[in-house]
Amino acid sequence: MGAVEIRKMTGGCGAEVLGVDIAALSNSDMEAVRQAYVDYGVVFFRDQKLTPEDHIAFARRWGDIVVNKFFTPTQNPLIAEVRKEKEQTVNIGGGWHTDHSYDVEPAMGSVLVARELPEEGGDTMFASMYAAWEALSPGLKKTLEGMRAVHSNAHVFGAAGFYKASDQSAGFKGESLIGEAVHPVVVTHPLSGRKALYVNPGFTTHFEGWTGEESQALLQHLYRHAARPEFTCRFQWREGSVAFWDNRSTWHYAVNDYHGEKRLMHRITIAGAPLH
């Protein structure tokens, strides 16, 4: 392939990386990809032919791999399945969220590879938490900067959680391994040095020191704000597509608009560090 070309997706976030084979990235091309990832929050690749071993090798160039305790693994335990069968109505990730924000050391990023796709639909949306933060008023920024929020997975993956009550229940495990973590509401990204809003509708339950009820009005305001169209991009999957997103600076949302068709993706999650 030729020289690396970075093509920004929208004014909000995301970039396509053209002209690379990510199974054979040179060190200089890797640096171009790394900078695009830092700048745009999520990078997309087309026409890749990744084996599971290639998928793992690419992920390891970024950091250690985290095995998700709730997802069903593929034949390789380092790779998780994100699956929806033809007869299922609930998908995985069908709402705005950030992977692993419920961990004390949240995941750095996730590498998602398309394996089986519906004829149409099944896009993934992303939103920039840099842009969301930067567009807040000075007064609200000042309020949020001293705050922390609690993130939990119990209501999603626990025994009484969302997935256990859905037609995805057989695909999840580890309901006794639930937990929570507390993070700043505004984090300074370790690679870019930029500030980003760090709450999300999937896993944030309340502000530290506030009740759940007291927290909801402000959280819902932030969620509506952060999902504004001008902060987002939408990726249409094709055979050979790969997405790699930054969990510290983006949200994502798997659109569930392909009932009656199967969709299978392979995901690897990359370890992060405590956020400040």
- C-alpha span between 99 and 263 (Å, rounded): 19
Burial of 57 (0-12, 13-18, 19+ CB in 10 A): middle
Q: Which of 83, 248, 252, 266 is catalytic?
A: 252
Other C-beta atoms closer than 10 Å to the C-beta of 194 total 16
| 105's tokens | 């050391």
Instruction: Let me know if 151 is a catalytic residue.
Output: no
Instruction: Let me know if 252 is a catalytic residue.
Output: yes
Q: How many CA atoms lie within 13 A of 241 on its CB side?
A: 17
Q: Which amino acid is at 86?
A: K
Q: Which of 29, 55, 83, 97 is catalytic?
A: 97
- C-alpha span between 45 and 51 (Å, rounded): 15
Q: Which amino acid is at 174?
A: G
Q: Output DSSP code: residue 73.
A: B
Instruction: Let me know if 238 is a catalytic residue.
Output: no
Residues whose CB falls within 8 Å of the CB of residue 217, separated by 6 or more in sequence, listed in order: none
Degrees to nearest 5, angle at CA 180 with 178 and 182? 170
Q: What are phi and psi of 41, to 5 degrees?
A: 85, -30
| 108's tokens | 């750095």
Q: Which amino acid is at 52?
A: P
Q: Which of 29, 55, 83, 99 is catalytic?
A: 99
Instruction: Let me know if 97 is a catalytic residue.
Output: yes
What does each C-alpha distance from 184 to 8, 145, 193 come to in angstroms? Answer: 29, 8, 15
Sign of the dihedral through C-alpha 188, 189, 190, 193: negative
- Catalytic positions, written as ranges: 97, 99, 252, 267
